[in-house]
Structure 1
Amino acid sequence: PELDYGGEREKKAGVAWCESYVHWSPRGSYLATLIPAKGVVLWGGKNYDKLGRFPAPGVEFILFSPQENYLLTNNGKRDDPNAIKVFSIQTGKLLRAFPLFPPKFIPDGMSREEQLQIPPPAFQWSHDDKYLARMGKDLISIYESPGMKLLDKRSLVADGIHEFQFSPSANILAYWAPEHGNAPAHIDLIQLPSRKKLRQKNLVNVTKCSMVWHAQGRYLGVKVTRHTKSKKTLYNNLELFRLDEPGIPVDMLEVKDAVMAFAWEPRGSRFAMIHAENPTSTKVSVTFHDMMKTVEAETKATKKKKAAKGAISKKIGTVTEPIEIAELNKVLTLEGKQCNCIFWSPLGTHIVLASLGDAATGQLEFYDLEAKTLTVKEHYRANRVEWDPSGRTVATCVTQPIGGGHFKFSMDNGYVLWSFQGKQLHSESYETFYQMGWRPRESLLSEEERERVVGDIKKYERRFDREDRERKRAE
């Protein structure tokens, strides 16, 4: 790797280049650096010029909108009525400010110590920057850009809500609420701005739900932790919503084991999960399922025949060809693995199964789901895995927290670059190492164009093979 820019211009001028974590914008147009005493600075262009400054004293956290139109800052102060600020990136204008907690979110009668145990609900952006939403007590407040006014001047009623998430590709939000009185727990899919309820799935004996959207919004997976009537035994099942099917059908997958991790293949229909009979087990299984099934189907074959008035088709029988149908099926299970995290390549097919954390081994298993090949490597004490947007390279890191004082594993600080097949490409060690992140890369093709290219690839292969043969004959 070559250094692209190291803040030399700022160092020479005696200006602080960065004092905290940095953040790439979703499309890679901006690099945000945090100066807690002042706020956020955006840099960009070939020379990383300063493009904007956003005053937000004490800033601890920021959130770009997906289309890079807005920037949200948060100073984490519970007594500041303007703890959270929303800016327009193009104009630098402050659009609205919010307190850290919505009204009535913290129950009355709590001690200060108890209040500090409650995390503030996070704001979330819709995929197109049109909406900014936050969970409140029994409601979701949805603000419409650019004015940041409450949508239809009222919040969305969601009794007992515990969590919500926007779809990555449509103005649909999903939320779940636990059982209350005689009402069962339920998962709801709501369309905006109409607030139409697209789907509701009722559940009983629910302890907890965890929602995971497919990167293209095609599916929503909900890991449901349930209890028996005695509440002494816990078990899992997955509720799998098909958003691209009429009526949004739901597949239910029962899992006897404890499910420790779940992740969708970014550009496909498969998912992986880590599971074991005992959630504290060091030996686990990794199972892959596919939401689509390939079956052989007979179709009528025709042959075009020339006639006086043009071509006509003549039936000549039937042929068998593979087609995909919407049916959940198990692909395979890898047993006896040492991993606690799943990292799919951005392009799918390849996956890294990693054992991360202080007590983990740092083992890395690079698996190719098509070729069924496995490469086992190790990065001792690794605590992060980051795929490059192209899916060709993956980084594993040992990082330490900023402001955490002496880091007991500082001897291991640094990163290693691997090919997607598990070949080590490069490594660097540092006395202090806080963060690593790839610059996002926007695709030059739209999703429709990409799917068309993938669908036509066999046609191109035949054409190129024919051209290669003709070229060889001409030599």
Structure 2
Amino acid sequence: MANQGVDTWKTRTRRTVTSKAGSSRSHEESNIQTERSYLQFIKIENKNTLFDPPCSSSVTRKCFDKPLDSKCFNVGAWDELFVRVGRNDKLIWNDNWSVADGTASFFMFPADKRVPSRWSPQGTFFVTAADHNMVIIWGSRYCTDFGQLLRFCHHQVEEFDISPGEKYLVTYSKPKPSDPNGLWLKIFDVRTGTAIVGLNNVDVADSPQWPLIIRWAGGKDDEFFAILSKNKTVSVYETKKFNLLGNAPLLLDDVIDISWSPTQAVLAILLKASGKQPVEVVLLQFPNNVKLAEKDLTGDCKMHWQSNGDYLAVNTCGGFEFFRIKEEGIPTDSLKVDKKILAFAWEPSGHRFAVIYGDEPNLSVSFYSMKTPGKVTELTTLSNRQADALFWSPKGNHIVLAGLKEGNLEFFDVDQLAQISPVANVVANQVAWNQSGKYVATVFTSPQEKFDSDCHSEPDDPRESFTIWSSDGKRLFVHQCQFLIIQLDWRTHGGIVDDDMLKKQ
């Protein structure tokens, strides 16, 4: 990565940023080291480890560093889907999601209705909350003994998150000022099940709210994370000892938002406009706080990283600004869009993106490419569409243009720039591709509170079912549930066993 015009901000008491356009922004830092508050992590002493880390898992396909035993591969090789129905979590798998064979195998167990369950980022394990005081990793060492692998204790836990490399589990409960010594956030070592550090209620005045309290740097190393505080400053921590980098927050004021590259320790920071100054985007590389790029923008900006971290797109007033992160000098490109923008989505691991814009009901969908250096190339524009959301296949060649309000789906081949199949009368508010790009699930999910207030079920209610489609828009499988569906999510692929499986598909 290019480091032209680098600048480090470890010891300055005043910094001036000059944009490529020639304007500047100043940040006064009088006694900044003592005035800027930040959250200090407390080491948690563990007397004993109650649970041994698992050595292998059939349902999880791989667990930690050891590949799945081939004798158990018959379960793990199939696509798996998580569905929360009413108060139960179901893990469902089917070898081909065929209409002819409308059955599916599954595990089902009670769920904590307050806390959403989820797959870990790489699909290594499944995680739930239970009994208001515990987060559980589920899996199986063999095909027949599915159950709890590890448990993590946190009193009145309300939320949890897993780091991108699956090394750490973060648990959260709402801070309580009346209990200054209580820990409202804990970070656990997933490999051993032990708590490492926490935050107590002494810092509650400056504690940010869930979600996204801890924002992990991209990649699988889990070396850094950032916290955007209530006072609009950013603190970056390392995980070797969970110390604050530079022993102080970054010397930046009025931070609107932050967003890490998905693949490396590069942090994009959006700074609030001040007076006549425009909004500014700054890119920093850690651990050395190296400034890679900066640019002044206008409007209510929003950042969009491409999944490989090759590009960063920023919504601006009247279009987009693109940063070519891995090219020499990080050059930028602009794209003007003079109509209201409804949706934007990058092609996974690719150079293309799609934009929905215009005024309903006659919307347009345009596809562009970043492949040519220094140029954003329009590939095609589809007019008079009713799409309000974009769902790329993980393989990148197909996309679903979804008009969820009207119940319309359009399967589109981006390689051929041709419609594959239109589908009408779909009762859904969520569209989800499986990781192989072979199947698409559609489902109508309802808030947990709606089920809790009225758990009555109607026979064949489409809001209580999910549908599996092929990548070319053919209906393959309909699974009717007994109650409202709260969550649905395909399992992510990752690791040695999954890589071998994908090569065979």
TM-score (norm 2): 0.70
Give the Å deviation of 1:445: 10
Q: Secondary structure at the match of 1:194?
A: coil
Alignment partner for residue 290 of structure 1, among 364, 369, 377? 369
1:67 aligns with 2:158: no
Give the superposition deviation at 1:18: 5.0
Q: Measure the CA separation in 2 of the matches of 1:17 and 1:121.
A: 23
Distance verdict in 2 for CA 1:217–1:238, change over 3 Å: same
Q: Distance in 1 between matches of 2:362 and 2:245?
A: 49
- Confirm or deny: 8 A CA contact 2:387 2:402 kept in the other structure: yes
Pick aligned residue for 1:135 from 228, 235, 238: 228
Q: Quick one: distance in 1 between partners of 2:387 and 2:247?
A: 48
Q: Distance in 2 between matches of 1:379 and 1:170?
A: 42
Q: Which residue of 1 aligns with 2:243?
A: 149
Change (3 A) 1:199 1:101: farther
Could you tell me which residue of structure 1 aligns to residue 45 of structure 2?
A: none
Check whether the contact 1:138–1:157 (CA below 8 A) recurs between aligned residues.
no
Say yes or no: does 1:92 pair with 2:202.
no
1:100, CA displacement in angstroms?
8.7
What's 1:232 paired with?
Answer: none
1:122 match? 213
Contact 1:400 1:407 in 2 (8 A): no
Question: Which secondary structure state, in structure 1, belongs to the residue aligned with residue 107 of structure 2?
Answer: coil
Deviation digits for residues 302-323 of structure 1 (CA, Å, limit 9, x no counterpart) = xxxxxxxxxxxxxxxxxxxxxx
> Relative to 1, partners in 2 of residues 1:88 and 1:443: Cα closer, same or farther, differing over 3 Å?
closer
Q: Is 2:175–2:204's contact at 8 Å kept on the other side of the alignment? A: no
- Pairing partner for 1:213 from 293, 299, 305: 305
Deviations 1:317-340 (A, max 9, x none): xxxxxxxx4521111101111111
- CA 1:121/1:43 → structure 2, altered by over 3 Å: closer, same or farther? closer
Q: Equivalent residue for 2:487?
A: 435
**Residue correspondence of structure 1 range 389-400 to structure 2 within 5 A:** 389-400=435-446
Cα deviation, residue 103, structure 1: 6.6
Contact 2:124 2:494 in 1 (8 A): no
Partner of 1:416: 467
Shift in CA distance, 143/426, structure 1 to aligned 2, threshold 3 Å:
same
What is the alpha-carbon distance in structure 1 between the residues aligned to residue 200 and residue 427 of structure 2?
38
Q: Flag the 1:101–1:202 CA change in 2: closer, same or farther, 3 A.
A: farther
Deviations 1:353-379 (A, max 9, x none): 1122xxx11211110012233211135
RMSD: 2.8
1:119 CA displacement: 7.1
User: 1:161·1:175 contact (CA, 8 Å) conserved in 2?
Assistant: yes
Structure 2 equivalent of residue 252 of structure 1: 334
Against the structure 1 CA distance between its residues 102 and 341, is the aligned structure 2 distance closer, same or farther, given a 3 Å change threshold?
Answer: farther
Distance 2:313 2:269 in 1: 12
TM-score (norm 1): 0.75
Instruction: Map 1:56-455 onto structure 2 (within 5 A).
Output: 56-77=154-175, 79=177, 82-98=183-199, 105=206, 122-127=213-218, 128-136=221-229, 137-203=231-297, 206-224=298-316, 226=317, 236-276=318-358, 278=359, 281-293=360-372, 325-356=373-404, 360-374=405-419, 375-378=421-424, 380-404=426-450, 405-406=453-454, 411=461, 412-430=463-481, 431-442=483-494, 444=496
- Cα pair distance change 1:261/1:333, threshold 3 Å: same
Q: Look up the SS of the partner of 1:252 in the other structure.
A: strand
Deviation of 1:386 after TM superposition, in Å, equals 0.9
Partner of 2:137: 42
- Deviation, structure 1 residue 384: 0.9
Residues 161-218 of structure 1 show CA distances to partners (whole Å, capped at 9, x for unaligned) of 0100110111100011121135432000000001011000012xx3311101000000
Offset of 1:120 from its aligned partner?
Answer: 6.6
Please say if residues 111 and 128 of structure 2, whose CA atoms lie closer than 8 Å, have aligned partners that are also in contact. yes
**How big is each residue's C-alpha offset from its partner over 1:58-106, in whole Å with a ceiling of 9 and x where there is no partner?**
3232211111100111224464752222111112222222369977659
The answer for unaligned runs of 5 or more in structure 2 is: 1-93, 95-102
Write the distance in 1 (CA, Å) between the matches of 2:330 and 2:438. 34
Secondary structure of the 2:488 match is: coil
Distance 2:105 2:199 in 1: 37
* Structure-2 separation of matches of 1:379 and 1:60: 37
8 Å CA contact 2:348–2:396 kept in 1: the answer is yes
Within 1, Cα distance between the matches of 2:315 and 2:381?
Answer: 19
CA deviation digits over 1:16-51, x for unaligned, max 9? 565443210111111101115222000123443321
Structure 1 Cα separation of the partners of residues 125 and 431 of structure 2: 22
Question: Hey, what's the Cα distance between the residues in 2 that align with 1:101 and 1:284?
Answer: 51
Instruction: Name the amino acid aligned to 2:454.
Output: H
1:66 counterpart letter in structure 2: P
> What stretches of structure 1 of length at least 5 have no aligned partner?
11-15, 107-114, 227-235, 294-324, 454-475
Helix, strand or coil: the match of 2:246?
A: helix
Could you say if the C-alpha distance between residues 420 and 408 of structure 1 is closer, same or farther in structure 2, counting changes exceeding 3 Å?
Answer: farther
Change beyond 3 A, Cα 1:378–1:444: farther
Contact 2:444 2:466 in 1 (8 A): yes
SS in 1 for 2:426: coil
Cα shift at 1:148: 1.7
How many Å separate the matches in 2 of 1:120 and 1:24?
17
| SS of corresponding position for 2:328 | coil
1:393-422 per-position Cα deviation (integer Å, ceiling 9, x unaligned)? 010111111133238997322211011111
Which residue in 1 is equivalent to 2:107?
6
Distance in 2 between residues matched to 1:99 and 1:92, nearest whole Å:
20
Equivalent residue in structure 2 for 1:24, among 119, 142, 149: 119
Question: Quick one: distance in 2 between partners of 1:165 and 1:119?
Answer: 16
CA deviations 1:340-363 (Å, max 9, x no partner) are: 11110001010011122xxx1121
Determine the structure 1 residue equivalent to 2:53: none
Q: 1:354 & 1:22 partners in 2: Cα distance?
A: 26
Amino acid at match of 1:332: T
